[in-house]
């Protein structure tokens, strides 16, 4: 409920934001006239991988048609001669055999479906990929394969990702910069290295403290710090700091005055009265 997927959908023009602007390559994509003018560029360069591959793939279409559907919609001639050849090429990139070309999504495993979803996004030769919880619906054994695939593709195709996740271990593994959101607002922004070694916001600290340690003895022995209190309704957020109801350091000022994002140096920004 922090608004991660909503931001992603705004970035992809699936939702129109109620306020503010989003700029992509000098184009204000929230401006309808500008969006219309650059629609083709925006709809090819930006692609999205959805969380649930079972519902994001059309169950009545074959894999080859799913992968090349964006090209058909945008009237793009397949560079490799035919749509089937194009689908086979993209499948090779994501580690799927050609024997899957004529299958339907219901005949695939969760990991295979997610690979098809990634291949579909790659067929437009994007430069910016929004991946919304790309491994959340997968078995743990498959998650590492998809994360490694995303890493390889980033290098091979010089892609920029906006990765949305609540899996902090994966975020650390894949990200250069991280934004932490709470109840619809960014509360901290930093490089991945800085955020994990010097978190400043109490919410970020609590999140990082909750990452499991893969050693049962150490994990059992470490002190627990569980956030108390309820998450307020995003429809009717409290005045002041939205985290105040759960923050162990909250003061009267926090409940009355909203903290702004402040630059703490080196691009590390935080919204907390304690950090000023
Ligand atoms: Fe906690 Fe106050 Fe900082 Fe909010 S502004 S995170 S309530 S210390």
Q: What is the pLDDT of residues 200-215, one digit of tens each?
A: 999 999 998 888 787 8
Atom of ligand 1 nearest to the CA of 248: 1
Residue 141 has pLDDT above 80, yes or no: no
Atom of ligand 1 nearest to the CA of 253: 2
Of the candidates 54, 240, 42, 2, which has an alpha carbon nearest to the alpha carbon of residue 127? Answer: 42
Of the candidates 65, 121, 57, 111, which has an alpha carbon nearest to the alpha carbon of residue 88? Answer: 65
Residue written as token pair 């109490």: 202
pTM: 0.86
Ligand 1, atom 6, residue with closest C-alpha? 272
What tens digit of pLDDT does each residue of 183-192 get? 999 999 999 9
What tens digit of pLDDT does each residue of 244-267 get? 999 999 999 999 999 999 999 989
Percent of the chain with pLDDT over 70: 100
The residue whose CB lies within 8 Å of the most ligand 1 atoms, and thus the one to mutate among 241, 262, 270, is 241
- pLDDT value at position 139? 78
The residue whose CB lies within 8 Å of the most ligand 1 atoms, and thus the one to mutate among 188, 239, 254, 260, is 254
For residue 138, what are its two tokens? 């997968």
Atom of ligand 1 nearest to the CA of 244: 7
Ligand 1, atom 5, residue with closest C-alpha? 272
124-145 mean pLDDT:
85
Atom of ligand 1 nearest to the CA of 254: 2
Residue written as token pair 């250069």: 176
- pLDDT value at position 1? 81
Strands 177-182 and 27-28 turn out to be: unpaired
Say how many Å lie between the first and final Cα of the chain, rounded: 27
87-107 mean pLDDT:
91
Ligand 1, atom 3, residue with closest C-alpha? 272
- pLDDT value at position 48? 92
Residue 240 φ/ψ region, left for φ over 0, alpha for ψ in the -120 to 50 degree band, beta for the rest: left
* Ligand 1 pocket at CB < 6 A: 201-202, 241, 243-244, 247, 249-250, 254, 259, 272-274
Across the chain, where does the E strand assignment appear? 23-24, 27-28, 46-49, 128-132, 160-164, 177-182, 185-191, 262-263, 269-270
Q: Rounded to whole angstroms, how far apart are CA atoms 2 and 36? A: 30
Residue 230 has pLDDT above 90, yes or no: no
What tens digit of pLDDT does each residue of 63-94 get? 999 999 999 998 988 888 899 999 999 998 88
How many A from CA of 189 to the centre of ligand 1?
A: 16
How many A from CA of 274 to the centre of ligand 1?
A: 6
Q: What angle do CA 104, 108, 112 make, to 5 degrees?
A: 115
- pLDDT value at position 213? 80
């Amino acid at each position: 409920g922090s608004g991660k997927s909503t931001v992603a959908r705004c970035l992809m023009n699936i939702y129109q934001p109620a306020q503010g602007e989003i700029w992509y390559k000098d184009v204000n994509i929230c401006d309808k006239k500008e969006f219309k003018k650059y629609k083709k560029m925006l709809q090819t360069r930006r692609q999205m991988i959805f969380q649930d591959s079972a519902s994001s793939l059309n169950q009545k279409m074959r894999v080859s048609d799913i992968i090349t559907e964006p090209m058909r919609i945008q009237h793009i001639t397949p560079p490799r001669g035919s749509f089937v050849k194009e689908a086979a090429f993209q499948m090779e990139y994501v580690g799927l055999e050609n024997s899957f070309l004529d299958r339907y999504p219901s005949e695939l495993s969760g990991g295979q479906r997610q690979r098809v979803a990634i291949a579909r996004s790659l067929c437009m030769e994007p430069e910016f990929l929004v991946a919304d919880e790309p491994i959340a619906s997968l078995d743990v054994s498959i998650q590492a394969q998809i994360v490694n695939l995303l890493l390889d593709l980033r290098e091979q195709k010089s892609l920029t990702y906006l990765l949305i996740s609540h899996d902090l271990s994966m975020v650390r593994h894949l990200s250069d910069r991280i934004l932490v959101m709470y109840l619809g607002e960014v509360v901290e922004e930093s490089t991945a290295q800085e955020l994990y070694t010097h978190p400043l916001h109490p919410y970020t600290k609590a999140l990082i403290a909750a990452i499991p340690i893969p050693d049962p003895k150490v994990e059992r022995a470490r002190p627990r710090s569980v956030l108390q209190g309820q998450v307020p309704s995003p429809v009717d957020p409290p005045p002041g700091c939205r985290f105040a109801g759960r923050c162990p350091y909250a003061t009267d000022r926090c409940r009355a005055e909203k903290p702004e994002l402040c630059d703490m140096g080196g691009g590390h920004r935080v919204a907390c009265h304690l950090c000023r």
